[in-house]
Amino acid sequence: MTSRKGFTLIELLIVVVILGILAALAIPKYGNTREKAYVAAMKSDLRNLATAEEAFFHDSSHYTKSFAAMAYFDPTKGDSLTVNEATNLGWSATAFSANTSRRCYVFSGAATPIGGAPIEGSIHCP
């Protein structure tokens, strides 16, 4: 009688089924983690915009809609920021990414709150 080394077909099928189950559990978690990363990047961009707006206000006594006028401000690649309102009394902005359907909002001063942002300076991403 000869001794054969290797795996049987049943053992290989069991391994493939286990790998399939693990992949089915891991893929949704991966997508959710990517979504959180995109939202975190938008929040970071809005925080940086707030700093740039306040620096611009310190120099010129009013807020601006122009990113070119704000020194050293550059949003994350793939994110788009829009300054909706900029007056002497406040500003509001919206951030969105091409990679997710979620949007983030922030306002400061006497600007009109947008996107359900409840508290001045608080970034809201519904």
Instruction: Give the domain ranges of the chain.
Output: 9-109
Highest mean pLDDT among 1-15, 41-55, 106-120 belongs to 41-55
pTM as predicted: 0.79
Q: Dihedral sign, CA of 115, 28, 40, 64?
A: negative
- Strand ranges of the sheet holding 79-86, from the earlier edge strand across to the other edge: 79-86, 90-97, 103-109
Q: 94: which strand partners?
A: 82, 105
| pLDDT band of 31, cuts 50, 70, 90 | confident
Mean pLDDT of 43-63: 94
pLDDT on residue 70: 86
Average pLDDT over residues 24-38: 89
Average pLDDT estimate for 95-108: 95
**Is the alpha carbon torsion for 116, 79, 82, 87 positive or negative?**
positive
* Cα 55 from chain centre: 23
Find out whether 76 and 58 touch, Cβ atoms under 8 Å: no
Q: How far is CA 108 from CA 4, 61, 75, in A?
A: 75, 15, 19
